[in-house]
Amino acid sequence: MVPLAETKIRRPEVAIELPALVVAEPSPDGVALPVPPAEASEIRRFLLARGNSALADKLFLAVMALCALSIFAIVVLIASQLVFSSQLSWHKFGLQFFYKFNVDPETKLPVFWDPVAGTFYALPFLYGTLVSSLVALVIAVPLAIGSAIFLTEMCPRFLRGPLAFVTELLAAIPSVVYGLWAVFVLVPLLREHINPVLMTIFNNSVTVKLFGWTGLVGNNGLFGGANYGLGMLAAGVILAVMILPIISSLTREVMSAVPHSQREAVLALGATRWEMIRMGVLRNARIGIVGSVILGLGRALGETMAVAMVIGNRPEIQKSLLSLGYSMASVIANEFSEASDNLYLSALIEIGLALFIVTIIVNALARILVWMVTRGVPARVN
Amino acid sequence: MNLKKQGFHSKFRAASDHLATGLAIAATLLVVAPLVAIFIYLIYKGASSLNLAFFTHVPKPVGEDGGGMANAIVGSGVLLGVASLLGIPVGIGGGIYLAEFGRGTKFANAVRFTADVLNGVPSIVMGIAVYSLIVVPQHHFSAFSGGVALGIMMIPTVTRTTEEMLLMVPNSVREAALGLGVPNWRSVLSITLKTASPGVITGCMLAFARVAGETAPLIFTAFGNQFWSASLNEPIAALPLQIYVYAISPYDEWHRLAWGGALVLIILIVFAVSLVRYVASRGILKGAS
């Protein structure tokens, strides 16, 4: 701030000259002479001593604008640092970084990520991030929309405040505490009780006979293979718990932005409450709801600690949701501080850059959609 | 009149209405359930490991019982102090610009949008950026870099809440101040901002509570430390980081400490959020307008 004050905003001595307060004194020869300004005016001296607020205002405005600019600066800074530090990996692998893999000559299995051999391909991380986020959305979206419907349309007034508070609290719990809970409660629960049930439902002979052609059931299907408890499903479930509050609260926001006249109109036509919600509320708020779901997706894509603790940390691609995987954010968290050579570090930073770009796009899209609904344009039934 | 058919139809409609109500209630219960489960388990596991030593001792080496997280609590305090010094003034400044000078301008809209988008950028990405900006040139991990990473994360949140709170101040208050001949900057700082201060403070606390639990950006900036350190220039321990390290370790004693740390962290955050909600529910501008 100091150089700014010294260079640009110097006090101009002329500009603040006030119009001279003329106190006419009849001189002996009858001509009125203006009194020399400096000593004549008490008011003027007072004003000069107080300084000029126009300058201070300009300085203040400049400082505040700098603060606002800092937001852009942060984005530019992050982007430039990531691009700059991932040059090495970009030059070595190019776009192949995101889809190529080597094949192990002995086992014939694909090898994506082997820091010792210098193999760095990011496909399993993209896959893990995408699949765990999709599992999270599948679980979280119906629950979030259901609870938002209950809170805005059905809930008795005395319950509304406490329930909204509880969902807010859910949003305030740190990621690492979710992870801790997931490791010691959720994973054993999945391993002992839920996964065996899922496996018997999906892998028994009847379902295999009926749905075997989809490739999603049986021992090679979505719930086949070994049951570790850890894995994609555990990551998806904990992500679902974490993104519930954000989807729920934004959905509530867009649903309460639907004008009351819409609800009344549908009710006046003889609709039941559910029909009113379906036709009057959900239909008007659908763009905003999609926006809030995408925002939840953005959160899920970037979630780091809880996922790193339960996803199993194995850079492989497998169809089963019970298998161990790895996600973009968690590989950075786990391996960044032990990355020994520059290429390794640069490959991790390139994963970070990809994550940054994807989350920026997803968030911008979601914000635009939410904004389209809540900006105050009256909703229309169509 | 086709009474019979209509009767079936309206029964179907009534049934689907009841079904939808039931599903909505079930969904709400399922949303609340994990929170209740987490809290009960946290209190059950954490309360037993909290004692005086937890708050006064540094961690013991592996295999020895006892020890605490005093260094991590102090470290979190140092990191959050640095973060607040950076994030709160800049954030409030940005909010003032958006609400007082940039209303309706394209620049302000762009800033607002960017702040919202920045809010959704994963914290680990902030960590990488600060790592290559500060840690690499300095050649060592430091508390300062961790604080900067957290501070950068506070800026968008504080900016947006400050702006929203300032917009709620009625224009008559501004006009009254300007009408008395107060310079604009003075009017903004001492009148408008002061009127909105309860709301602005709650916004800052919300941002504070959010970064207090952040782990990911600290892994390669503050790095963590098993010993006492309050120096800005050295690696420092932090509560969430310590919880993470202990949670993935194979030792029961460390698991116990992790639960205790998580309970302390949650109590701090719940306290902050409840305070925010209490102040917000009283109406931030009561008595001012």
Q: Mean pLDDT across the stretch B216-226?
A: 88
Counting one residue from chain A and one from chain B, the pairs whose CB atoms sit within 8 A come to 271
Asked if B116's CB is within 8 angstroms of A352's CB, the reply is: no
Find the CB nearest A150 among B24, B125, B183.
B24
Indicate the residue type of A53.
S
Digit-coded pLDDT (tens) for A89-121: 999 988 888 888 888 888 888 888 888 888 899
- Spatial separation of the C-alpha atoms in residues A306 and A309, rounded to whole Å: 5
Among candidate residues B158, B152, B241, B228, the one with its CA nearest the CA of residue B193 = B158
Question: What angle, rounded to 10 degrees, do the helices at A53-85 and B70-96 form?
Answer: 120
Per-residue pLDDT at A141? 95
> Residue B108 phi/psi, 5° resolution?
-65, -40
Residues 6+ apart with CB under 8 A from A185: B37, B41
Digit-coded pLDDT (tens) for A353-363: 999 999 999 99
Digit-coded pLDDT (tens) for B123-148: 999 999 999 999 999 988 999 999 99
Find the CB nearest A61 among B101, B128, B215.
B101
**Could you tell me where the beta strands, DSSP code E, fall in chain A?**
25-26, 32-33, 102-103, 110-111, 113-114, 119-120
- Spatial separation of the C-alpha atoms in residues B86 and B234, rounded to whole Å: 19
Asked if B117's CB is within 8 angstroms of A360's CB, the reply is: yes
- Spatial separation of the C-alpha atoms in residues B145 and A22, rounded to whole Å: 61
Q: Looking at beta carbons, which residues of chain A come within 8 Å of B272? A: 172
Per-residue pLDDT at A234? 94
Write the DSSP symbol of residue A97. Answer: G
- Spatial separation of the C-alpha atoms in residues B270 and B212, rounded to whole Å: 12
Find the CB nearest B248 among A66, A169, A309.
A309
- Spatial separation of the C-alpha atoms in residues A333 and A348, rounded to whole Å: 9
Digit-coded pLDDT (tens) for B143-191: 999 999 999 999 999 999 999 889 988 989 888 888 887 888 888 998 9
pTM for the model stands at 0.85
Q: Mean pLDDT across the stretch B12-38?
A: 91
Asked if B124's CB is within 8 angstroms of A332's CB, the reply is: yes
Q: CA quadruple B175, B176, B179, B180: dihedral positive or negative?
A: negative
Per-residue pLDDT at A328? 94
Question: Scanning every residue of chain B, which has its alpha carbon at the shortest distance from the alpha carbon of A81?
Answer: B129
Asked if B91's CB is within 8 angstroms of A67's CB, the reply is: yes
Classify A49 as helix, strand or coil: helix
Per-residue pLDDT at A72? 94
- Spatial separation of the C-alpha atoms in residues B38 and B21, rounded to whole Å: 27
Classify B87 as helix, strand or coil: helix
- The listed range with the strongest mean pLDDT (A17-31, B47-61, B86-100, B266-280) is B86-100
**Mean pLDDT over the full length of chain B:** 86
User: Chain B closest CA to A246's CA: distance in Å?
Assistant: 11
- Spatial separation of the C-alpha atoms in residues A233 and A176, rounded to whole Å: 18
Lowest mean pLDDT among A27-36, A240-249, B1-10: A27-36
List, in sequence order, every residue forming a beta bridge with B67; answer none if it has no partner.
Answer: B59
User: Chain B closest CA to A149's CA: distance in Å?
Assistant: 7
